[in-house]
Structure 1
Amino acid sequence: MKFGGILGFDTGIMLAPMGVDIAGPELVAVNNYEVTVKAINDTRKLTNKPFGAGILLEFEQTNTIRAIFDQKLACLQVFWGDFPKEMVDEAHKYGVKVIHQVGSVKAAERAIAAGVDCIVAQGSEAGGHVAGTVSLTALVPRIVDAVGNRKIAVVAAGSIADPRGYVVALALGAQSVAVGTRFIATKEAYAHDYYKQQLLHYNEEQTDRTDLYERFNWKADVRCIRTPFYERWKGAPDFVQNDNYQPIVGKSIFFEKEAVLQRFSGQVMNRTTTGNLEDMVLYAEQGVGLVNDIVPAAEVVRRFVDGAKAIIQGPSKNYLPKPKKDNDHSEVCEQGKGEKEVEKECVETIHCE
């Protein structure tokens, strides 16, 4: 098995697109040239290495794509729609490689015909927006076979949260993995600390695929954590939407502007978010049960690379962090509160048994 980076990057670990400020549909759809350029320049202040950007094709993205081309990013990842050959060719003129995320073999075949540089095969186990209905282990080999001997890298995405998932992806024929949920639980992620902490308390049986969130803007399936709020509302009829008839559950600051969050908003809470956090969506993949701690992003990459090497070289039981216990809700929900008060709020928020 080939082990290492793709598309000129150092390792085979790709950060799954979660948008600027861990964006929801409204923010992703901003289609603003200046805002995109600012986000790119802010990233360049932190690294001199190449990086890319991800966009959702469901929305008008002309200005965003133009900014990405003009700034000559290393790559552009697209999802939830077609990116035809003429757009791929234009990207290549600017030196931008195109990564297309898909959830089916048919979508992969369209991406192959368009001449993309890389295909991300997203299994149905993935967190956030999920396009397909096929599991990762069934989808990846089929897409690998469809690519054949073309110079198109295949990346596996969905429920990959530790080195074992990385090695499985390599064995299925993928050259790399895209990781989302594991990177939310890192020091650098702009997610709210409450969100990060909640990821430590749930397992694969406590996620669900639903269209409950963001129906007013974009009726699309997502995989999220089955929080007590979600369990109360998961059977809501289609007319229940995140429209102006819903109460405001919180506020966040995006691009230096305050935004209100209606109930059933698909916007994930960032560090600025205030309000009823327990009523907000928590996207997570089925691999969330393997997320046991909050560490620097570099440590996540190191664990993946070193752990995968150890597995490939020979069986080892010493490369994984200590696993968490299912339904272990012992973490403090909020600082500065008495033990009994914290215990009571944890029970209400996390729905301890």
Structure 2
Amino acid sequence: MMMKFGGILGFENGIILAPMGADVAGPELVAAVANAGGIGLLASPINNYDTTVKAIRDTKKLTDKPFGVGILLEFDCTKTIKAVFDEKLPVMEVYWGKFPKEMVDEAHKHGVKVIHQVGSVEAAERAIAAGVDCIIAQGVEAGGHISGTVSLVALLPRIVDLVGDRDIPVVAAGSISDARGYVAALALGAKGICVGTRFVATNEAYANQYYKQQLLHYTEQQTDRTDLYGRYTWRAYVRCLNTPFHETWKQAPNYGTLVNDESQPIIGQSTVYSEEIILRRFAGQVANPTTCGQLENMVMLAGQGVGLVNDIVPAGEVVRRYVEGAKAIIQELGETHLPKASPQPPTTDHEEKKIKDSWKWKWIKKLCL
């Protein structure tokens, strides 16, 4: 059983699974993260009530732990939100758009806490004014869709300072692929981390094996921030692997006018939440296990932390590595960077209690709980 470490919003630990779309963060991955004490977030279908309910119920079959759903605000999400309310989920994440106070209030009436992912201080100000329960600060180095242009190290402490003493935990997102990144985020004031790329390379992620394997062979210098993919429905920046296909087309003279419309050849097809999808060149959809066709010519979303992704393991193992690794690092830092209470071991119960009650041990204990 996972030990509690830095729990937020009533969950056992501060690890959040990014709701990676369209269905990479499906029931199996969400349940695995939830079972490990983290906050699993389903990638919700776009405004489809029945499909969202089915995905939620399929997840409930795999875990009795709480979990949530990610809501993409770029599109109409009324039906998806209704499914979250009707299924009585404890949290939902909203991102890429505004979620005003009246919508936050409505969520609270249904017992749903709102996590808002932002990419700028200005967006964080709006989220605070709306009364959200948690803010995810996403750095530009993150994989998938990225709304900001500032690195996590610069953005995170600014948002932490903005939140101040309000009861709104700030979570870090962007290239946090191991326990060292987790501890760095904690040092910058975060209460938890939101993870995408590292969770794609897990057994339970609903991603094509070819896509998972490619993550093991790329580094931080081999990703690109681009708006090349999915322009037909949504022109937005993503960070992806700089594959040979991507490298070729980003240098094309007509790069700015390329659109994945009917003028582009069909390169494959997928089944996404029971819907058959035709994939044309420059489609924004990553490959899932049903995808067939020219996999090497499809977008592969990944953050700059991909260089630290070296194996494909169960999602619970990923959570364990974050939690146990962070605890070990914090304890080591306490031993190497904080003053020693005494070179001599305590000789009485009174002296032992005095050392345990010292500010050094209180600091370490606070971080490890």
- Structure 1 length as normaliser, TM-score? 0.86
Q: How does 1:104-123 map to 2 (within 5 A)?
A: 104-123=120-139
Q: How does 1:330-349 map to 2 (within 5 A)?
A: none
The equivalent residue for 1:292 is 310
Please state how far the C-alpha of 1:67 moved relative to its aligned partner: 0.9
Q: How does 1:1-353 map to 2 (within 5 A)?
A: 3-22=5-24, 30-236=46-252, 237-314=255-332
Please state how far the C-alpha of 1:20 moved relative to its aligned partner: 4.8
The equivalent residue for 2:28 is none
Please state how far the C-alpha of 1:29 moved relative to its aligned partner: 6.2
CA distance, structure 1, for counterparts of residue 251 and residue 146 of structure 2: 19
CA distances 1:312-334 after superposition (whole Å, capped 9, x unpaired): 00069xxxxxxxxxxxxxxxxxx
The equivalent residue for 2:30 is none
The equivalent residue for 1:345 is none
- Matched-pair contact (CA < 8 Å) for 1:19–1:54: no
Partner amino acid, structure 2, of 1:51? F
CA distances 1:128-182 after superposition (whole Å, capped 9, x unpaired): 0000011101111000011011110100000000000000000000000001000
Q: Which has the larger radius of gyration?
A: 2
Please state how far the C-alpha of 1:55 moved relative to its aligned partner: 1.3
SS at match of 1:314: helix
CA distance, structure 2, for counterparts of residue 303 and residue 143 of structure 1: 27
CA distance, structure 2, for counterparts of residue 53 and residue 3 of structure 1: 22
CA distances 1:53-110 after superposition (whole Å, capped 9, x unpaired): 0011010111111111111111010001000000000000110000000000000000
Please state how far the C-alpha of 1:256 moved relative to its aligned partner: 2.1
CA distance, structure 1, for counterparts of residue 87 and residue 114 of structure 2: 15
Please state how far the C-alpha of 1:198 moved relative to its aligned partner: 0.3
CA distance, structure 2, for counterparts of residue 133 and residue 39 of structure 1: 33
Partner amino acid, structure 2, of 1:16? A
CA distances 1:3-62 after superposition (whole Å, capped 9, x unpaired): 511001111110011135238xxx966311111111110010000010000011010111
CA distance, structure 2, for counterparts of residue 60 and residue 77 of structure 1: 15
CA distances 1:184-232 after superposition (whole Å, capped 9, x unpaired): 0000001000000000000000001001101111110000000000001
Partner amino acid, structure 1, of 2:92? L
Please state how far the C-alpha of 1:239 moved relative to its aligned partner: 1.9
Please state how far the C-alpha of 1:259 moved relative to its aligned partner: 1.3
Please state how far the C-alpha of 1:257 moved relative to its aligned partner: 2.7
Change (3 A) 1:90 1:192: same
Please state how far the C-alpha of 1:258 moved relative to its aligned partner: 1.8
- Matched-pair contact (CA < 8 Å) for 2:132–2:168: yes
CA distance, structure 2, for counterparts of residue 28 and residue 52 of structure 1: 10
Aligned length: 312
CA distance, structure 2, for counterparts of residue 50 and residue 264 of structure 1: 36
CA distance, structure 2, for counterparts of residue 244 and residue 41 of structure 1: 36
* Identical residues among aligned pairs (%): 70
- Matched-pair contact (CA < 8 Å) for 2:44–2:69: no
Partner amino acid, structure 1, of 2:142? A
- Matched-pair contact (CA < 8 Å) for 1:125–1:159: yes
| Unmatched 5+ stretches in structure 2 | 26-42, 335-369
- Structure 2 length as normaliser, TM-score? 0.82
